[in-house]
């Protein structure tokens, strides 16, 4: 009996695949099966993002929210690189795709120029004689400059419509709600095995204080969660004050209350600066003097409540939040002492000790050195330590320039709903920038990616306003 070629090849192919899978399991365990399953999915996702660069930014933002939390459950996969994967896919797509037309005129603005300037300074740090490791630079520069350098121009090129701005806000609120309920589960029901394993690996001493859990949800830690959820709360609060339907404003108000409650549950004292600075920024930017007076009065009452009363001290979270205003707080004094040490060390190092020489990357690549072993506890102290006073002044100037330009551009927007959305992102940006004085927040995920996209929308304000105005005319 004769067999046709397909009748022979199909079983033979199946046999070979079975043998390969068996060998993979024998040598790598079930991780091999996971890789076999994940590689085709990753290839398909990469192809999709190459063909749809406008959707790839959304995927990158989703990765930024969930990747770190997911790595607690699948520690063997490098999920932390998923944001890099998505952004690089968009970048390659910008050069080679044919389905989406790219208008590079969107890059003709000062935001792209200052972003490029900051990236060039970070590249120049490769030649810093104090730098210890090229590998440390490669890892650390992702947070200090590379994500910014990729996200800003890609947002300008492929997510420059009102619908893209609306999508960003929806993603922020959706994942913040999800993170809030995840955090409530952690506190009121308990941690799962993966979360307990993460705490036991070294984080329990900072996340369980006096028997009280500092909620961290699916973020990198409680500090990042507290600031990130406060950032979302600030956005929701400003939207709740906007010219939207009653139903939408109630939803925004509920989100704001929920997020602020989780901010307190995180036990992150530095996160208090996000609503304080963000509210002040919104009140000033809104140019509504009655609202400004009311807002300042509310902030004053909150300050007086925390500073001069002991009401609520039975609650650990309130007690910890109150300690943020104590000038004799031990943690604050340690930070001030460390800053004095940095000042002395950096006197003769105007360009710092090199990118990746402090904090986590410093302990990994140059353990035992002064910068690695002295906690920086702040985004700006980190920049100062690694890039010197020159880098710090340049970075702070760029952040201030972006904030001022955002303010001027938002004031020119005529569409009230669009203006309120941009004001919400502006208040969130100022809040995070202020909180980064005391915590290393600005370059962390997902907060950093949200800010970089927000910057792009500030500088796109005129185009977005024109688009919304034309859309209103069409609907009339």
pLDDT higher than threshold 90 for residue 407: yes
Closest listed residue to residue 465, CA positions, set 431, 420, 433: 420
Query: How many domains are there within the chain?
Result: 1
Average pLDDT on 324-329 reads 63
Closest listed residue to residue 221, CA positions, set 392, 437, 431, 377: 377
pLDDT higher than threshold 80 for residue 79: no
The whole-model pTM stands at 0.86
Domain contains 114:
no
Domain contains 457:
no
More confident residue, 307 or 375: 375
pLDDT higher than threshold 80 for residue 423: yes
Residue 242 DSSP one-character state: S
User: According to the model, what pLDDT value does residue 257 have?
Assistant: 96
- In angstroms, the CA 439 to CA 266 distance is 14
User: According to the model, what pLDDT value does residue 377 have?
Assistant: 80
* Farthest-apart Cα atoms in the chain, separation: 96
Average pLDDT on 56-67 reads 84
Q: What percent of the chain has pLDDT over 90?
A: 41
Domain contains 159:
no
User: According to the model, what pLDDT value does residue 30 have?
Assistant: 47
pLDDT higher than threshold 60 for residue 191: yes
Average pLDDT on 129-156 reads 89
Domain contains 339:
yes
> What is the tens place of the pLDDT at every residue in 15-45?
554 555 554 544 455 455 555 555 566 566 6
> What is the tens place of the pLDDT at every residue in 331-371?
667 777 888 888 888 988 999 999 999 888 888 888 888 88
CB 377, CB 438: distance < 8 Å: yes
pLDDT higher than threshold 80 for residue 127: yes
Domain range spanning residue 214?
Answer: 167-437
Instruction: Please list, in sequence order, all residues whose beta carbon lies within 8 angstroms of the beta carbon of residue 380, skipping any fewer than 6 positions away.
Output: 392, 395, 396, 436, 437
Average pLDDT on 441-462 reads 92
């Amino acid at each position: 009996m004769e067999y046709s070629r397909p009748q022979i090849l199909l079983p033979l192919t199946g046999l070979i695949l079975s043998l390969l899978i068996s060998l993979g399991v024998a040598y790598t365990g079930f991780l091999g099966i996971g890789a076999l399953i994940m590689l085709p999915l990753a290839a398909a996702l990469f192809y999709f993002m190459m063909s749809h660069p406008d959707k790839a930014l959304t995927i990158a933002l989703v990765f930024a929210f969930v990747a770190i939390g997911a790595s607690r459950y699948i520690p063997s996969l490098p999920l932390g690189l998923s944001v890099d994967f998505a952004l690089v896919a968009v970048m390659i797509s910008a050069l080679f795709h044919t389905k989406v037309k790219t208008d590079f005129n969107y890059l003709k603005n000062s935001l792209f120029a200052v972003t490029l300037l900051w990236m060039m300074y970070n590249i120049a740090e490769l030649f810093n004689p104090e730098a210890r490791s090229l590998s440390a630079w490669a890892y650390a520069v992702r947070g200090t400059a590379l994500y910014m350098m990729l996200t800003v121009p890609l947002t300008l090129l492929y997510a420059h419509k009102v619908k893209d701005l609306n999508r960003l806000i929806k993603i922020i609120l959706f994942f913040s709600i999800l993170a809030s309920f995840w955090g409530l589960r952690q506190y009121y029901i308990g941690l799962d095995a993966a979360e307990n394993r993460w705490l036991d690996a070294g984080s329990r001493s900072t996340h369980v204080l006096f028997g009280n859990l500092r909620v961290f949800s699916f973020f990198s830690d409680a500090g990042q969660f507290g600031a990130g959820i406060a950032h979302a709360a600030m956005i929701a609060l400003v939207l709740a004050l906007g010219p939207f339907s009653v139903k939408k404003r109630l939803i925004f108000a509920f989100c704001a209350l929920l997020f602020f409650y989780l901010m307190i549950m995180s036990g992150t004292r530095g996160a208090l600066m996000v609503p304080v600075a963000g509210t002040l920024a919104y009140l000033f930017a809104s140019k509504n003097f009655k609202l400004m007076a009311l807002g300042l009065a509310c902030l004053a009452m909150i300050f007086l409540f925390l500073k001069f009363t002991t009401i609520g001290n039975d609650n650990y979270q309130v007690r910890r939040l109150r300690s943020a205003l104590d000038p004799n707080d031990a943690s604050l004094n340690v930070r001030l002492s460390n800053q004095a040490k940095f000042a002395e060390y950096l006197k003769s190092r105007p360009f710092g000790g090199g990118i990746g020489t402090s904090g986590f990357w410093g302990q990994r690549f140059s353990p035992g050195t002064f910068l690695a072993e002295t906690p920086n506890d702040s985004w700006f102290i980190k920049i100062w330590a690694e890039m010197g006073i020159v880098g710090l002044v340049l970075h702070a100037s760029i952040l201030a320039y972006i904030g001022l330009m955002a303010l001027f551009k938002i004031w020119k927007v005529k569409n009230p709903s669009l203006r309120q959305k941009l004001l919400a992102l502006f208040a969130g940006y100022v809040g995070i920038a202020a909180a980064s004085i005391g915590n290393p927040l600005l370059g962390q995920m997902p907060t950093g990616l949200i800010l970089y996209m927000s910057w792009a929308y500030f500088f796109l304000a005129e185009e977005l306003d024109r688009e919304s105005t034309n859309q209103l005319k069409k609907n009339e």
